[in-house]
Amino acid sequence: MILKASQRSGGKQLGLHLLNAEQNEHVEVAEVRGFMSESVVGAFKEAQALASGTRCKQYLFSVSLNPPEGENVRPEVFEGAIHKIEEKLGLTGQPRVVVFHEKEGRRHAHCVWSRVDAETTTAKQLSFYKTKLREVSKELYLDNGWKMPAGMMDRKARDPRNFTLAEWQQAKRAGLKADDLRGMVQECWAVSDSRNGFAKALEERGLYLAKGDRRGHVAVTYEGEVFAVSRLIDKKSKEVSAKLGKPDDLPSVEQILARIGNELAPRLSRLISEAKRIAGNAMKPLLEQRNAMQRDHSDERKRLDEGQKQRWNAETTQRAGRLRGGVMGLWDRVTGDYQKTKRQNEVEAHWGLQRDREQRQALVAAQLAERQRLQQQIREMRTRHAEQILALHKQAANYRLMSDRQTPRLRGEFGRRAGSETPMRPNRPGRGLDLGR
């Protein structure tokens, strides 16, 4: 389980982010503990008010718990992970909020603690929390028998194509998959033995070597995105300069952009716009199915929750009826029948809670499995789209050889692939609604 954490302020913004139902398909507030308020935003306002009496600025500690993809993780596993984190970081007993998110067939959790101790009005020190969380993460992989990422076993073995968030967003704006872009530049670096060879290999893939303002050698995409070469190939600037020489005589980013604008942009923009339009039309049925599935799943959970609530109220009334009042109730206390009945009620209430929890978990697991199957189709469609974009970038180096006939050919080729796999919405029986057990 990957654990990502940060100390932060801005409780209101964090609360609204955790409750954001637009970016997440399902949001479930699992716990609000140690606060007067029962709402997430209200709890964080309390934490802020308590911190105002101290010198603590980052009064919240937020951790996201992300299990391996494809694993059906039960709530008890998340609870155990949160308990381990509390023990490791000294947060046991601190007020906390736990929220579950589901998106694209994956379920993960967010746990946010108040760092301020109400008794001492001091903030909990979280020294070396990243190292400690890495240790907890390893324990969770071993305890649950999950396949541990290679980078977690040996940091030198981590995937060198992993982007930072800023790099990923930059690559996304360029219309390329982040890992493909980095891998593509690394391949160019590996096969070239000089700057000219490296620049030519880049141009064959729609990228241009230029001199950056502050970053030395940079790669520029046709849309104007600029990437530091040293970051893309995971090398130091000195190593890059040793192979490519000083960047002083390279064209500047502005000159490259002017060249792209004059030569490539009109033709390439038209082709990429056409590919995006075709891909959007092909993706539309899948997105409609995703939205319909989200509504169906939400309705199923509401029906289950309402049914369980009604059943719980009926069972509670039945248990309360066993405890007699008046003189007979006093007699039951004298004879010990009252204590026996009370223990029986407690046992039945405990098993009733376990039953409801198991039933809801079964429903969530079935829905996640269905959503993952749909997400696989969406992922395949997105991959084909990214491949089309990459192919167009590669062809841009030879744009003079292109003809206007490529646009209708692209439309026919991509449309056939996408149209052949338009999914049909399955007929699904209701799940989790058998409340008679």
Give residue-wise pLDDT tens across range 47-86.
999 998 888 999 999 999 999 887 888 889 999 999 999 9
Give the bridge partners for 6, in sequence order: 62
With cut-offs at 50, 70 and 90, classify the pLDDT of residue 413. very low
Mean pLDDT over each residue of the chain, to the nearest integer: 81
Would strands 96-103 and 116-117 be described as parallel, antiparallel, or unpaired?
Answer: unpaired
Question: Does the residue 308 lie in any domain?
Answer: yes
Q: In this structure, are 245 and 390 located in the same domain?
A: no
Q: Is the pTM of this model over 0.75?
A: no
Lowest mean pLDDT among 86-95, 240-249, 353-362: 240-249
Task: Note the pLDDT tens digit of each residue in 133-185.
Answer: 999 999 999 888 888 876 666 555 555 556 666 666 666 666 666 677 788 88
Task: Tell me the C-alpha distance between 365 and 360, whole Å.
Answer: 9
Name the domain count of the chain. Answer: 3
Q: Please compute the mean of the pLDDT values over residues 282-303 and round it to a whole number.
A: 91
Model confidence pLDDT, tens digit, residues 229-276: 888 888 888 888 888 888 888 888 888 888 776 766 566 667 667 777
Same domain, 91 and 15: yes
pLDDT of residue 398 exceeding 60: no
Q: Output b/e per residue, 68-82; b: 16+ Cβ within 10 A.
A: beeeebebebbeebb
Q: Output the CA torsion sign for 168, 173, 179, 182.
A: negative
Helices (H), 397-424: 406-419
CB-CB contact of 123 with 47 (8 Å): no
Could you tell me how many residues make up the chain?
A: 437
> Looking at the domain assignment, is residue 435 inside a domain?
no
Q: What is the pLDDT of residue 59?
A: 93
Average pLDDT over every residue of 28-40? 92
Domain termination site, one of 156, 174, 189: 156
* Range in 174-178, 247-251, 333-337, 421-425 with the lowest mean pLDDT: 421-425
Residue % of the chain over a pLDDT of 90: 38
203 lies in the same domain as 311: no
- Between the two ends of the chain, the Cα-to-Cα distance in Å is 34
Q: Is residue 40 part of a domain?
A: yes
Picking from 156, 188, 206, the residue at the C-terminal end of a domain is 156
- Helix, strand, or coil here: 258? helix
Please indicate, yes or no, whether residues 362 and 307 belong to a single structural domain of this protein: yes
Residues 386 and 403 in one domain: yes
Q: What percent of the chain has pLDDT over 70?
A: 79
Using alpha carbons, list the distances in angstroms from residue 5 to 60, 196, 395.
Answer: 10, 44, 42
CATH number for the domain harbouring residue 11? 3.30.930.30
The pLDDT score that the predictor gives to residue 118 is 86
- 21 and 82: one domain? yes
pLDDT value at position 7? Answer: 93
140/177 same-domain check: no
Half-sphere exposure of residue 132: CA atoms within 13 angstroms, side-chain side: 17
Would the CA dihedral through 81, 84, 86, 88 be positive or negative?
A: negative
Beta-carbon neighbour count of residue 350 at 10 Å? 10
User: By residue range, what is the domain housing residue 15?
Assistant: 2-156
Q: Are residues 8 and 148 in the same domain?
A: yes
Whether residue 413 is found in the same domain as residue 292: yes
- Return the higher-pLDDT residue of 395 and 88: 88
Helix, strand, or coil (residue 345):
helix
Answer whether 86's CB lies under 8 Å from 92's CB.
yes
Beta strands in 134-271 (DSSP E): 207-211, 217-221, 226-228
Q: Give a yes or no: residue 94 inside a domain.
A: yes
Q: Per the domain annotation, does 430 fall within a domain?
A: no
Q: Say yes or no: 79 and 185 in one domain.
A: no
The whole-number pLDDT of residue 427 equals 46
Contact 74, 361 (CB under 8 A): yes
Does position 349 have pLDDT exceeding 70, yes or no? yes
**151 and 211 fall within a common domain:** no
Does residue 250 lie in a domain region?
yes
356 and 301 share one domain: yes
| DSSP-assigned letter for residue 88 | H
Tens-place pLDDT, residues 3-13: 999 999 999 99
Q: What pLDDT, on the 0 to 100 scale, is given for residue 266? A: 66
Query: Do the domain assignments include residue 98?
Result: yes
Q: Starting at the edge strand that comes first in sequence, how are the strands of the sheet with 106-114 ordered?
A: 2-8, 60-66, 106-114, 96-103, 26-33
Which run of H or of E encompasses 122? strand 122-123
| Spatial CB neighbours of 398, under 8 Å, sequence gap ≥ 6 | none
431 in a domain, yes or no? Answer: no
